[in-house]
Chains A and B, each alone.
Chain A
């Protein structure tokens, strides 16, 4: 099962001159730095092997790709892609579902807090 060049349609590193929205080439090592810290946090060595990180990145990109394709299939019935499609896909996986609902509610709270912050800023400005 060892693949010499794993990954979905991965090309060599593309110069960042063109906007990536139109091009479908994917750079390797997009998540490398973050993944190193993440793998250490989850139980790997303090310095994970680079080939391991690359493999994990490829697997994660493939996972996200499959997830997004499935979500698109579901979302196309409704019209457009929405967050609920992703939540529907992970409905069987309790830890992930709980985590996602928690993230969403925290984001809401943060939004509210930021709004309140701006209101207070205005109040302070008008007082002075």
Chain B
């Protein structure tokens, strides 16, 4: 990977321009399969982009510096929760450094992944498709740590097709912001639900779903059952989460359910 001098030598205008170009092209490719479009975008991207991203993320506490960097290569769409590591319990955010993944993956794997999830893509409506494409374009380092990033790429390169498709679903799935906003408005009765609030609640809800499903799987293994998760497992998982205190308790008991 190229060192950071190259990135420093660019002025922010050009980096922002590249970023702008990438956003624009991503929006224009709505009709395409987002995975294919993402792969093409990855190949076009400048080679040093993951490192640029690295430095950017390593300086996340320094807000000023982040802003001057112009957010190079960060085509993060806030709608998609594609930034998480495997499982919500892992603390360090681990991101898919997708610019180097094509080099590690064989093209056949990418093609099969793209083909396998074509059915899923048809279910996305246009908004979601656009946002998904935006996210795939972003080059995510796992954290500021290049070793973590290298580890992540090493793991990802060895995924089977099944694992890759599941990981892809994990990264790309998200609750719709519009639906969440509508729900929040109906709960609070106030119209002023800001966008960050919607994003935060969507993220929290997604992690909660993760906790539920993982706990349900644990329950299933204890009971030595297999197959799709059934409602009884989810209820048991929910009960366990309540005992662990991860579910907010109602101050007023709900009487009639």
Inter-subunit contact A59/B203 (CB<8 Å) = no
Tally of B interface residues using CB under 8 Å: 91
A68-B188, A94-B91 given; A103·B214 CB < 8 A: no
CB within 8 Å of B: which A42-97 residues: 42-45, 47-49, 51-52, 55-56, 59-61, 63-70, 72-73, 80-83, 86-87, 89-90, 93-96
B74 within 8 A of A: yes
Q: In terms of DSSP, what is the predominant structure of the interface of chain B? A: helix
Inter-subunit contact B74/A113 (CB<8 Å) = yes
Inter-subunit contact A120/B209 (CB<8 Å) = no
The residue on A at minimum CB distance from B226 is A45
Inter-subunit contact B248/A89 (CB<8 Å) = yes
Q: In terms of DSSP, what is the predominant structure of the interface of chain A? A: helix
9 A-B pairs (CB sep. < 8 Å): A39-B213, A41-B173, A55-B234, A56-B209, A64-B201, A87-B200, A90-B204, A95-B88, A106-B83
B residues engaging A (CB < 8 A)? 12-13, 16-17, 19-20, 23-24, 56, 60, 66-67, 70-71, 74-78, 81, 83-84, 87-91, 93, 120, 123, 166-176, 179-180, 182-188, 190-197, 199-201, 203-210, 212-214, 216-217, 227-231, 234-235, 238-239, 246-251, 254, 257
